[in-house]
Chain A
Amino acid sequence: MIEVEGLSKKFGSTIAVDDLTFSVHPGNVTGFLGPNGAGKSTTMRAILGLVRPTAGTTAVLGKRYSELDDPARHVGTLLETFDAHPGRSGRNHLRVLALAAGIPRSRVEEVLSLVDLREAGKRRVKGYSLGMRQRLGLAAALLGDPEVLVLDEPANGLDPQGMRWLREFLRALAGEGRTILISSHVLAEVAQTVDEVVIIHRGKLVRQAAMGDVEAMAAGSTTVRSPSADQLAVLLAEGGIEAILGEDGRLSVVAPPERVGEIAAEHGIVLHELTVERASLEEIFLELTGDPGERGA
């Protein structure tokens, strides 16, 4: 369980996080979403005790992170910035962490195998590709077989195969009752992985909702093409359904396709096209997180 209560963080005059409250529950993968600069990384670092909140509190497993005994055995973390010494080998990087946390050395080999870095483990980290660095970070996060995972942009640098592996792996971990928080600035990237989303913008909470509810928001209008489009528009209007006739002769109807089809059939109207227009997850995300002008900045 991760709890964030009234969290605020100012850097000088810049408000990075503003009175943010949310919780992440065991057994769920929770997506922590927002555009770049929304305050996701700062919030995660505050949860992990790396950033001191200006106001509010954070708790992991009921305690402040710094109060956990052997935190690396309870909380696995992957931060956006790479945190291994470039001159140390990947295996030694994990050995250092394992020794500090009292984790057996055999576990180092297990996680290296898990992320497919066993062969590369002896190489110095500065020779690793971006994807290898990300996998080493994931290995470090999984080292203590933790109950809680906090992963900042975990899919960065992974190839499609790696992303698929990560998705399935996180789902399996959540299935074991673990608490997982993953951040991303791309909703579609995590849509298949998460059960719940926490969306923030400019440091403020925009929405915390089940992923199913967000997907429901994407359901939109129905597009109809018919040789009797004018007549169908009138009939739909009589039924209290808004229909707009476009210049291309298509009708855009604010109603499910089943209802449009039934009305057309009742009046013997021929249809050439009946298409559901769904907003993409990205469109929903962008709608929730601000205006296009800001996003381009």
Chain B
Amino acid sequence: MTRLFASELLKMRTIRTPWGFAVAAVGLGGLLAAGHIGSPPKEGRLASDYQFDLFLSAAFPAVVLALLLGILLFTNEFRHGTISRTLLVTPRRPTLVALKLMVGAAAGVGLALLAVATAAVIAVIWLGIIDVPLQIGDEADAVWRSLLAAALVGALGAAVGGVVHSQVGALVGTLVWLFVAEPIIWVLLGLVHIGGVADYLPAVTVLSILDTHGQNLSFAATAGMAVVWIAVASALAVIRTSRRDIT
């Protein structure tokens, strides 16, 4: 399993797309961190949770990128026809799904690390210049939440790719779910006075790990629910991938 995981990581490192995602995570993370520091007045920068929010906002694009990269990690196999060779080396398909989930999680952590590292460099320099003291505790809390969210989202993306093998279908479907379907469901649930159910929807659940404002569920419940969604998607991915003939 270790060899297969290392091989999947090498597979990811030896094409350009993941590096493009890494550049995007650094660029967007840095941009949001700079905006977060530069826009409020000095009193705002001293407010409680300010540095916590700074790191979370810098990591947010990395988490979205982790979802997309997770999808690509699986669907690329079908798009480029490399799935045949992959299954000849790893013929047990549930093992392949598990590997892709692990690589998706690792890729998510990598992207989030790059984003928060960029934010940290900007914060240390800029806040130091304007004499705002660093709050290491808040920052550390934000960093591990970001890494956890990115890992879970990366794995979820890989599982989605394992269910919907068409790359375009998986990407478009995910974006439609995130930005159209789930918000509509969220509103409808509110209209019928069961808005609390919306806290358990996939995107709300996973992104709540990052966004603590207005969160109804405890952190443990949020993370646990995210794991449940990943488990559901993974089970579907195993069924779908196992039944597919590679012709």
| Residues of chain A having any CB pair with chain B under 8 Å | 11, 41-42, 45, 48-52, 65-66, 68, 71-72, 75, 77, 79, 81-89, 92, 95-97, 99-102, 140
B247 contacts A51, C-beta separation under 8 Å: yes
Q: Could you list some 11 contacts between A and B, CB below 8 A?
A: A49-B87, A49-B91, A52-B245, A72-B88, A83-B83, A85-B15, A92-B10, A96-B10, A97-B89, A99-B3, A140-B85
Q: Which residues of A contact B91 (CB under 8 A)?
A: 48-49, 65-66, 68, 71
Q: Which residues of B contact A79 (CB under 8 A)?
A: 84
> Which residue of the partner chain A has the closest CB to B243?
A52
B1-35 interface mask toward A, CB cutoff 8 Å, 1 = contact, 0 = none?
Answer: 00110111011001111000000000000000000
B7 contacts A51, C-beta separation under 8 Å: no
Q: How far apart sit A71 and B247, CA to CA, in the bound complex (Å)?
A: 19
Q: A71-B91, A96-B10 are in contact. List 15 more A-B contacts (CB 8 A).
A: A42-B247, A45-B245, A45-B246, A50-B246, A51-B246, A66-B91, A66-B92, A81-B84, A83-B82, A83-B85, A85-B11, A96-B14, A97-B89, A99-B3, A100-B8
B85 contacts A71, C-beta separation under 8 Å: no
| Residues of chain B having any CB pair with chain A under 8 Å | 3-4, 6-8, 10-11, 14-17, 76, 80-85, 87-92, 243, 245-247
Q: Which residues of B contact A86 (CB under 8 A)?
A: 80
Question: What's the nearest-Cβ distance from chain A to residue B80, in Å?
Answer: 5
Q: Which residues of A contact B245 (CB under 8 A)?
A: 11, 45, 50-52
B14 contacts A92, C-beta separation under 8 Å: yes
Given contacts A52-B243, A52-B245, A88-B15, contact A77 B7 (CB under 8 A): no
In this complex, the member of A41, A72, A99, A140 whose beta carbon has the largest number of chain B beta carbons within 10 angstroms is A99
Q: Which residues of B contact A72 (CB under 8 A)?
A: 88-89
Q: How far apart sit A233 and B15, CA to CA, in the bound complex (Å)?
A: 75
Q: How far apart sit A118 and B26, CA to CA, in the bound complex (Å)?
A: 36
Q: How far apart sit A45 and B6, CA to CA, in the bound complex (Å)?
A: 26
A100 contacts B15, C-beta separation under 8 Å: no
Q: Which residues of B contact A85 (CB under 8 A)?
A: 11, 15, 76, 80, 82
Contact count A vs B, C-beta below 8 Å: 82
Q: How far apart sit A140 and B82, CA to CA, in the bound complex (Å)?
A: 13
Question: What's the nearest-Cβ distance from chain A to residue B110, in Å?
Answer: 18
Q: How far apart sit A85 and B83, CA to CA, in the bound complex (Å)?
A: 10
Q: How far apart sit A95 and B9, CA to CA, in the bound complex (Å)?
A: 12
B246 contacts A100, C-beta separation under 8 Å: no
Q: Which residues of B contact A11 (CB under 8 A)?
A: 245, 247
Q: Which residues of A contact B243 (CB under 8 A)?
A: 52
Q: Which residues of B contact A81 (CB under 8 A)?
A: 81, 84
Q: How far apart sit A96 and B16, CA to CA, in the bound complex (Å)?
A: 15
Q: How far apart sit A216 and B14, CA to CA, in the bound complex (Å)?
A: 53
Question: What's the nearest-Cβ distance from chain B to residue A94, in Å?
Answer: 11
A48 contacts B88, C-beta separation under 8 Å: yes
A102 contacts B3, C-beta separation under 8 Å: yes
A99 contacts B10, C-beta separation under 8 Å: yes
Q: Which residues of A contact B247 (CB under 8 A)?
A: 11, 41-42, 45, 50-51
Question: What's the nearest-Cβ distance from chain A to residue B9, in Å?
Answer: 9
B87 contacts A95, C-beta separation under 8 Å: no
Q: How far apart sit A50 and B87, CA to CA, in the bound complex (Å)?
A: 7
Q: How far apart sit A81 and B82, CA to CA, in the bound complex (Å)?
A: 9
Q: How far apart sit A88 and B81, CA to CA, in the bound complex (Å)?
A: 13
Q: How far apart sit A96 and B83, CA to CA, in the bound complex (Å)?
A: 13
Q: How far apart sit A66 and B87, CA to CA, in the bound complex (Å)?
A: 9
B15 contacts A99, C-beta separation under 8 Å: no
Q: Which residues of B contact A41 (CB under 8 A)?
A: 247
B15 contacts A83, C-beta separation under 8 Å: no
Contact of B88 among A52, A77, A87, A96 (CB under 8 A): A77
> Which residue of the partner chain B has the closest CB to A52?
B245
Q: Which residues of B contact A88 (CB under 8 A)?
A: 11, 14-15
